Structure 1
């Protein structure tokens, strides 16, 4: 077993060559320089960093929020109350909880976070009169001084959101009368066509609907402030209509976005380091199972590999391979960075000065 004294690093980006030898695997590995480069590419694509409202669910890391603040990002979108708290604790002055709910325990937590950060702007989504009523009940008459509610619009995804239609203006009027209407939110995550022209046409159809609704809102004296888009569409929403766009996957990129959105210039910046623990003549077994990488994707697509991914359990994955040796370390590029990052409470980060350090992230905390 002489090959185990000095392990070999395979399938790794150039920035990972100085990885420490002694690491427990699987391990989440991140390049801070890659995040900064991806930010600049994303800001360029949408017309300026001031339009960016990155979704933090991709990384769930306070240190990433802090770094993006230093690079000029001013607003963030979050999916869970733990992410809202993380963003505020990192020093952000504007966060949107993009998850319409009637769960009063969660609502009260966000109300408390807004109260604890009076200088920050905290916003949340509603898409129904029941949602508005839940916020009123949780607030119990307490003024929402630095918290506003946005109306979530359904752009065709069919998950959450009010119709993009005139009757939805009544919900906006109800919020405006209460003094807590902050504008609108529309997420078009169902659009992920590979052809940019096709994506553009689909977004244009939604833009036409939303623009008509905003025209009616303006005529009624209501806010027309809008947050729109996702990772496949953020650069297609016109600045004249969408004040903010909110992609998130750019932060780390992924095998999926590396192949499907190459024109954006995002560099994969997060990997899972695994070790080869066994092999046959045609396969290798790695210590990175479903608890380690992209568990929401079909087995064959959970990470980039040039052969078949044959089998995966919680702690193992078996892949087609003939060139790896037992003890080799392999950098796996996730198909889905978001659902890989949340599996880890910390990441080993190559900082922008070239040093490795362990940094905390939320992991699976909600």
Structure 2
């Protein structure tokens, strides 16, 4: 059986890579047609920069995105070919069970899963950061560039007893207005620092307060100090003021987990967009096993209509999976819900389908 295992595994990986090599150039061609005008608008933008900063990272991102689809299509294609060539009949006549027949498929799915996990958790976030920076500089329109620029009426818990409030903040020039920092002992206010303007100095990570006033609250009296300008340090940066899922895509998983934990301590109310991104990085690679079982079960027996029917049914199932996955991501990002359960709902649903098809194929 080892010869057949190697034969199936080799066909598995070759067809998988071949499918990726078909999908990626199509994605690149569509993207080039959409963005060629943006590239030509910038006379200082060279071909090397476009290829290295954008399309290299574009390929990394979409290779990882297309992995489940490529895996699913690859398994259906070459398993249908095995069935049409009556090779599977010869294998079953040799008293090889369907479970044993799945062994090389699971080896291949494990290779793809491990590769996808490494890419999802570490490679793709770093790659996305470079690609997003390029898009922001050369492709995004002014509306998109200003989307994350302004923050208003923001509050943040820095420690168990310290809270900050900012009326307006411009993340482009790191300048804010109407700043307050309050320190409490239980429910009692102990001190309050206010400023008309606040500026973050990136070079030394120091905040400059202009038109500042500080109030110290004692049992029988208050002390008030004021001045024109003062430099101080706070346990946050302007990036902490913006909570967008786009930032989650640019963080490696260890950095993302650290960010989520710090944000929880600071009292940020809704971090579900970040949790969805974190959980998705594991759930999608694990789906390789589920999709492999479904694909093999569909293509295991010879059908009237051949590979075309299997491929049509398989692609339909794949797009249903993507549809439910996107719904789960949207619902999981809503405040107050269990993000983990919503992210894993597609895997649970199609896992049940895979179990049904597995037992059906065994017959």
Decide: shared fold, TM above 0.5.
Answer: no
Greater gyration radius: 2
Q: TM-score range by the shorter chain?
A: under 0.3
> What is the TM-score normalised by the length of structure 1?
0.21
Report which structure shows greater RCO (CA 8 Å, sep ≥6).
1
| Structure with the higher helix share, 1 or 2 | 2
Using structure 2 for the length normalisation, give the TM-score. Answer: 0.21
